[in-house]
């Protein structure tokens, strides 16, 4: 229970009402994230890793209920009123999702989508917001940023769209960013670029990053701590070196067995 | 049969694309010259990222797309010149499974109907009961419970859907199976299971495989030889153990360097030296070697001349001006 | 599967039925339609009074439940209740048959055009465009005056002949989208021929759209027939149709309002019920709709 934790989740559980029954997708989830720390949440699909953080953000489906506590900047997020969450999402907590094609608005130019956030949360004028949006897009290494800012999402490649998503997530300089499978849908060389970008941005801004993924290699380069989830529970949580070199839980060991290990090409 | 089952020579597939409502028509070269061979019992891996043309290659082999240039020879016959009856036989001999297992199954059909459909096409003499017997046999073969037959696709997991797709592909005993990113959408543990199933089918039934993927780890687990594609062109072809031991082409090396490794020190070091840039547009490919815009070793000749596809050792080929010195 | 999406188990149609069942209004409207259909089919036979029998003692009698004429009579003493039921029967038959015919033609046209693609698709859809732009009301009027006036067959052909255009367009668009799905690709790879492809894969996946459209087309057809009958071009006297009943009633509106309200009310009720059910069906059959 750290005093200056950016996000403090305690005993979070998430249940869905399906056909008259209650299905538990997350139980007993407790995690504390320090400022500037990157925590990897690793598990296979269905492990509940996305649901846990959707619950924290107040983005669960209509038939889902969250119980427990998630404290962020001295406010309780679970069951907080919609207006309060709207102020926090985007401005104080940035979000990066897996599929940028469906997360970006198809009929708005990408530059405007970044600017929109700044107008809404930072109160900038449209012109100032557009200027800052261009800075952000350059910061995320979008090639030819000025021209691309005037294009629509479908005109950009997957990697470029993901850079735009990162720009949107970081636009208001949030202290916490939640990235849910940010590179899963990308080609492997582009994935490496995006991971390198995230590493650099995290270093520069001292922001906390929650990195949700099924790939241990992805957390290896970015996270300081890793929480391994299985069937809705955290089965092991330790610093990244321990998890990757000397895991104690059998599930973690099984994940490690199928992950690529050595340097060079002999994988 | 000593010759190769499948022989593809200089395959090119061009699409005509119109830019905007009044723009001029340009040519999108999805495949710009691919040649390969596959023998029985052999698994050929095709590795590439988006824009490499690998899905177009899969569809061209299955005769779902007509090549613009080039020949595809199956079992000694030119695919483009087949009579109707022979073409049906081709559909029986070649099978394909796709990347998104759920999307490849008709959501309105029961699993039993889905798996049994090839029998309705190719073995119409069978009645419903005989068909269902075959379906039950295939379900067992791919490791699914019989009860699955009465369900709908959306009630199954991704891994189960892919097994259904494999059962459907195998029910008419094909000789070549093309796997177009068949395990990319599945969890890692399920991937291993599906790969194991494919390997068993390959060994037991002499099935030839063309396994298309961007995931080098998975390709290694299954394939004997590997072909690396970039922007519709061949970069390198080698037996798997040679490629994984020492890749020659800079793009192959970049692919290997980009794989996330589950070791913190190694991965942090790799992240600080990633390849730059994006693949160029297939509408305006760069002159000379298509990889030169991102290649850390590009020199003047790379920008001017297309590298020759040349032998580089034991059953290896490479298309690079500088492979000898790198 | 369940945990990630919170969806109920069961087949596609079962899920749709569950969604539909939860819509009380739609169930009520559907029940009402069934009642009306039953009444329209059987009602005239149960009543002692015929639709064209004249009751000189009760000319223009107002409605009196429990009396001889429940919903009153018209200017010629004909029982309005029986005539309305009869009119409903004719309207329903024409509406349902005309919808069925236009649906069949439209679906065939649209799926063949969409699946063939290329030149065939262009030709077929240009034909639709041309027909769409014709002022079909005038064409129907001309047809009705040229051929046997009052012939139900001609009326029914005239109505159905233009109804297929919209569904053809809708179906063609959806067929184009379905053609690009992976399961259609997979079926082509298996060697499924075009006929089997349409029948086994395309049409069942259009079922949702077709059903929803049908429930909206039926009231349109009924309304169109009523309109033609109102103009005097459709069903002829003494055969009642909701349209000519409304026409008669409109003339007596000032003095004997029930002569208008009874048939007009029935028509409106029927159309509203069909619209409600159509909307609910469309929502229930959309697989992307989350269950509440």
Q: Do C11 and B152 touch (CB under 8 A)?
A: yes
Minimum CA–CA partner of A15 in chain C: C3
In terms of pLDDT, which residue wins out, C78 or B117? B117
Q: Which of residues 79-118 of A touch B (CB under 8 A)?
A: none
A257 touches chain B (CB under 8 A): no
Question: Which residues lie closer than 8 Å to B43 by C-beta, 6 or more apart?
Answer: B202, B208, B209, B210, B211, B222, B223, B224, B225
Predicted pLDDT at C101: 86
- Residue pair C203/C107 in contact (Cβ under 8 Å)? The answer is yes
Q: What is the DSSP string of B102-120?
A: TTTS-TTS-HHHHHHHHHH
C4 → closest Cβ in A17, A19, A46: A46
Q: What confidence tier does C9 reach under pLDDT thresholds 50, 70, 90?
A: very low
Predicted pLDDT at A249: 93
CA distance A24 to chain C (A): 7
CA distance C27 to C18: 12
B55: number of CA atoms within 13 Å, CB side? 10
A61 touches chain B (CB under 8 A): no
C3 → closest Cβ in A16, A19, A62: A16
Q: What confidence tier does C149 reach under pLDDT thresholds 50, 70, 90?
A: low
Q: Most C CBs within 10 Å: which of B66, B104, B110, B187, as the mutation test of the C interface?
A: B104
Minimum CA–CA partner of C195 in chain B: B121
Tell the residue number behind the tokens 């962020």, with chain if given: A72
Alpha helices by DSSP H, chain B: 54-61, 84-93, 111-122, 128-141, 158-170, 188-205, 216-222, 240-245, 250-258, 264-271, 300-304
Predicted pLDDT at A265: 53
For chain B, the chains sharing at least 3 beta-carbon pairs closer than 8 angstroms are A, C
Question: What's chain C's average pLDDT?
Answer: 80
Q: Is the pLDDT of residue C194 over 70?
A: yes
pLDDT digits (tens, 9 = 90+) for C92-111: 888 888 888 888 999 999 99
Predicted pLDDT at C292: 34
What ipTM describes this predicted complex?
0.87
Is residue B287 left, alpha or beta, with left meaning phi > 0 and alpha meaning psi from -120 to 50? beta
Q: The whole model's pTM is what?
A: 0.83
CA distance C64 to chain A (A): 49
- Residue pair C202/B107 in contact (Cβ under 8 Å)? The answer is no
Predicted pLDDT at A241: 93
- Residue pair A57/A9 in contact (Cβ under 8 Å)? The answer is no
* C242-251 helix and C80-116 helix, angle to the nearest 10 degrees: 130
Tell the residue number behind the tokens 């001029």, with chain if given: B24
In terms of pLDDT, which residue wins out, C205 or C288? C205
User: What does each of the 267 residues of chain A score in pLDDT, given as a tens digit?
Assistant: 456 889 999 999 999 988 788 889 999 999 999 999 999 999 988 788 999 999 999 888 888 899 999 999 888 999 888 888 988 888 899 999 888 778 889 899 999 999 998 998 888 899 999 999 999 999 999 988 999 999 999 888 888 999 999 999 999 999 999 999 998 888 888 999 999 999 999 889 889 999 999 889 999 999 999 999 999 999 999 999 999 999 999 999 988 887 777 654 554
Q: How big is the A-C interface in CB pairs under 8 Å? A: 31
In terms of pLDDT, which residue wins out, B27 or B318? B318
pLDDT digits (tens, 9 = 90+) for C219-232: 888 888 888 888 77
CA distance A228 to B26: 50
Q: What confidence tier does C13 reach under pLDDT thresholds 50, 70, 90?
A: low
- Residue pair B188/A44 in contact (Cβ under 8 Å)? The answer is yes
Minimum CA–CA partner of C7 in chain A: A18
pLDDT digits (tens, 9 = 90+) for B317-326: 999 999 998 8
Q: Residues B166-188: what's their mean pLDDT?
A: 92
Q: Which of B178-182, B201-205, C204-208 has the highest mean pLDDT?
A: B178-182
CA distance B272 to B274: 6
**Residue C256 to residues B43, C49, C55, C251, C263: CA-CA distances in angstroms?**
87, 21, 17, 9, 13
Q: Do C4 and A62 touch (CB under 8 A)?
A: no
* Total Cβ atoms within 10 A of residue A250: 11
Angle ∠(B302,B306,B307) on CA atoms, nearest 5:
80
C3 → closest Cβ in A17, A23, A62: A23
Q: Is the pLDDT of residue B158 over 80?
A: yes
- Residue pair B216/B184 in contact (Cβ under 8 Å)? The answer is no
Q: Is the pLDDT of residue C46 over 80?
A: no
- Cβ neighbours of C4 in A, within 8 Å: 25, 45-46, 51
Q: What confidence tier does B168 reach under pLDDT thresholds 50, 70, 90?
A: very high
Q: Which of C198, C205, C214 is nearest to C102 (CA)?
A: C214
C6 touches chain A (CB under 8 A): yes
B317: number of CA atoms within 13 Å, CB side? 17
Three-state secondary-structure class, residue C207: helix
CA distance C182 to chain B (A): 5
B98 → closest Cβ in C11, C182, C193: C182
Is residue B51 left, alpha or beta, with left meaning phi > 0 and alpha meaning psi from -120 to 50? left
- Cβ neighbours of C5 in A, within 8 Å: 61
Q: Do C207 and B108 touch (CB under 8 A)?
A: yes
């Amino acid at each position: 229970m750290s005093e200056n934790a950016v996000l403090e989740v305690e005993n979070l559980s998430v249940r869905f009402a399906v056909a008259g029954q209650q299905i538990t997708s997350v139980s007993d989830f407790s995690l504390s994230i320090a400022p500037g720390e990157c925590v990897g949440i690793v598990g296979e699909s269905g492990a509940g890793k996305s649901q846990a953080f959707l619950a924290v953000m107040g983005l669960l489906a209509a038939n889902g209920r969250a119980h427990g506590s998630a404290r962020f900047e001295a406010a309780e997020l679970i069951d907080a009123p919609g207006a309060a969450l709207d102020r926090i999402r985007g401005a104080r907590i940035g979000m990066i999702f897996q599929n940028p094609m469906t997360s970006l608005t198809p009929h708005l130019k990408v530059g405007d989508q970044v600017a929109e956030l700044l107008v809404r949360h930072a109160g900038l004028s449209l012109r100032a917001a557009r200027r800052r949006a261009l800075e952000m897009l350059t910061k995320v290494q979008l090639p030819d940023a000025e021209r691309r800012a005037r294009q629509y999402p479908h005109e950009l490649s997957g990697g470029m769209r993901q850079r735009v998503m990162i720009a949107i997530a970081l636009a208001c300089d949030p202290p916490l960013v939640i990235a849910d499978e940010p590179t899963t849908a990308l080609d492997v060389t582009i994935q490496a670029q995006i991971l390198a970008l995230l590493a650099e941005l995290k270093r520069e801004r001292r922001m906390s990053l929650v990195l949700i993924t099924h790939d241990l290699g992805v957390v290896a380069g970015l996270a300081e701590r890793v929480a391994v989830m299985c069937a809705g529970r955290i089965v092991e949580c330790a610093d990244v070196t321990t998890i990757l070199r000397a895991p104690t839980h059998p599930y973690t060991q099984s994940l490690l067995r199928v992950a690529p290990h050595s340097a060079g090409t002999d994988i | 049969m000593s010759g190769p089952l499948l022989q593809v020579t200089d395959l090119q597939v061009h699409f005509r694309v119109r830019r905007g409502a009044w723009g001029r028509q340009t040519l999108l070269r999805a495949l710009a010259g691919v040649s390969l061979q596959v023998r029985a019992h052999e698994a050929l891996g095709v590795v590439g990222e988006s824009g490499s043309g690998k899905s177009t290659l899969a569809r061209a082999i299955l005769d779902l797309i007509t090549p613009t240039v080039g020949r595809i020879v199956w079992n000694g016959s030119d695919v483009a010149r087949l009579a109707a009856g022979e073409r049906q036989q081709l559909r029986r001999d070649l099978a394909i499974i796709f990347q998104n297992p759920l999307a490849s199954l008709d959501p309105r059909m029961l699993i039993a109907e889905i798996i049994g459909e090839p029998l309705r096409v190719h073995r119409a003499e069978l009645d419903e009961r005989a068909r269902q017997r075959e379906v039950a046999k295939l379900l067992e073969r791919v490791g699914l419970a019989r009860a699955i037959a009465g369900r709908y696709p959306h009630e199954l997991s991704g891994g189960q859907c892919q097994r259904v797709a494999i059962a459907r592909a195998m029910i008419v005993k094909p000789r070549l199976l093309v796997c177009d990113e068949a395990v990319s959408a599945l969890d890692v543990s399920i991937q291993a299971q599906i790969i194991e199933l494919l390997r068993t089918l390959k060994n037991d039934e002499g099935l030839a495989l063309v396994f298309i993927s961007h995931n080098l780890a998975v390709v290694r687990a299954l394939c004997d030889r590997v072909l690396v594609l970039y922007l519709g062109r061949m970069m390198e072809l080698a037996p798997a153990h040679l490629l994984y031991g020492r890749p020659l082409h800079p793009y192959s090396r970049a692919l290997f360097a980009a794989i996330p490794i589950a070791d913190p020190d190694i991965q942090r070091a790799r992240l600080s030296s990633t390849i730059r840039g994006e693949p160029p547009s297939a509408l305006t490919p760069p002159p000379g070697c298509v990889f030169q815009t991102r290649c850390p070793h590009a020199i003047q000749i790379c920008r001017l001349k297309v590298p020759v596809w040349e032998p580089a050792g034991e059953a290896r080929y490479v298309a690079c001006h500088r492979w000898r010195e790198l | 599967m369940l945990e990630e999406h919170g969806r109920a188990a069961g087949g596609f149609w079962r899920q749709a039925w569950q969604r539909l069942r939860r819509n009380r209004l739609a169930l009520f409207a559907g029940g009402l339609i069934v009642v009306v259909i039953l009444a329209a089919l059987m009602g005239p036979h149960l009543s002692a009074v015929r639709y064209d029998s004249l009751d000189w003692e009760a000319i223009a009698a107002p409605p009196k439940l429990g009396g001889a004429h429940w919903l009153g009579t018209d200017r010629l003493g004909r029982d309005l209740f029986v005539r309305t039921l009869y009119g409903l029967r004719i309207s329903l038959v024409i509406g349902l048959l005309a919808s069925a015919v236009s649906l069949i033609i439209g679906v065939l046209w649209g799926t063949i055009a969409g699946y063939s693609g290329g030149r065939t698709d262009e030709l077929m859809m240009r034909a639709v465009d041309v027909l769409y732009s014709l002022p079909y009301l005038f064409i129907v009027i001309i047809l009705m005056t040229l051929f046997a006036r009052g012939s139900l067959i001609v009326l029914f052909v005239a109505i159905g002949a233009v109804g297929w255009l919209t569904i053809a367009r809708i179906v063609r668009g959806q067929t184009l989208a379905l053609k690009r799905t992976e399961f259609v690709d997979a079926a082509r790879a298996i060697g499924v021929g075009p006929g089997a492809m349409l029948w086994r894969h395309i049409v069942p996946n259009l079922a949702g759209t077709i059903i929803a459209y049908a429930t909206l087309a039926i009231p349109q057809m009924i309304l169109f027939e009523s309109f033609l009958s109102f103009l005097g071009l459709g069903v002829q006297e003494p055969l009642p149709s909701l349209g000519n009943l409304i026409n008669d009633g409109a003339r007596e509106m000032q003095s004997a309002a029930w002569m208008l309200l009874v048939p007009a009310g029935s028509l409106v009720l029927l159309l509203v019920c069909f619209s409600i059910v159509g909307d609910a069906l469309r929502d229930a059959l959309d697989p992307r709709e989350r269950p509440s």
